[in-house]
A and B are shown apart, each in its own frame.
Chain A
Amino acid sequence: MTLHRGEHGVLRRLDLPEDVAYRLMLLGFVPGADVEFSGSAPGGDPRVFRVEGTEVALRRETAEQMIIDGN
């Protein structure tokens, strides 16, 4: 599902290549983590997520492969 600005969700899984998923997990994007959508660059790409207190920017196609459930 797509989050709107300021909305929280729970990360279910990462449908991404292993090395990308690895890096994201080290940054806190693990299944079960609380993820907040902070906003994006003008145009919607890249998208910025707040996880565990820090902002991380991801390109749209990577962000779309993160499956997040709403609360």
Chain B
Amino acid sequence: MSSDPLVVAAGDRPLPPALAVAAEVRRRRVGRRRLLSRAMLYGLAALLALWVLLPIYLISVSAFSPREFVFSFPKTLVPSEFSTETIGFFANSTGVMPALWRSVQVALVAVVMTLAIGAPAGYAIARYAFRGRNAFRLLIISTKAFPIVILSIPLAVFFLQAGIRDSIWAVALMHTALALPFTVLITSSVFVSVPRELEEAAQTLGSTAVGAFVKVVLPLALPGLAAAAIFTFVLSWNEVFAAVILTLRERTLPALVLTVMTQSPLPYRFAAAFFMLAPSLIVIFIIRRYLLGLWGRVIK
């Protein structure tokens, strides 16, 4: 494309009057075009937001309507009556509450384990130049997309031999493995953002390396570490394939819903979907600042 001398030149130096008028006209035209494309952009953004939000709205309507509404036809997009009957029916169904409790336990164990195992590695990547650093990073990044189906089936055999199949521990160990690469990556970016000078200053003032870490680095890294923990929690809370392979009676919530779904009435399914969805929406809001760091990395 040829450059546009009128627009480019206008800002630099006074133009001859005729050219100045031409430049003004051009600038207005460009401005109007900008405004129009800006409006179109807002329109498109609103459309895409609708595409994302509408299904969430619809399942919320189903979950918070009376049970007759779920079977009624045709449905109205604006609910006529708010009710906790459908949600209550699901919550009181056999096995739901124990499964919910198991899901929470599994997720908490996975959070503790990923941080205990992954955060030291994240710190090493952030703070030290050492041989094999890039190889380790590559290993971590490539395991981020590791197929869960591959791991679950052999591990079921192993957990059976170890005597912990069909327990929250089996699922928690599996979820720890899945979340570990993410924890290493996010904790390394968290530790990078804590100035090393602070840590060194503490050591100069007589702290040990461990003391400096606990007193100086940890408080500053806490919000980022919390984000990593929350990410692991959601991953575990949502994961269903490994959970359904590794458990039989000790189902987590998604595993339970998946196995009884086809024999369950519609209100059960819709309330279950909302139940599984709701915590995640809040969590995404809490960690929204870290989303780009978690997933945005390019394979290097």
Partners in one complex: no
A residues with CB within 8 A of B:
none
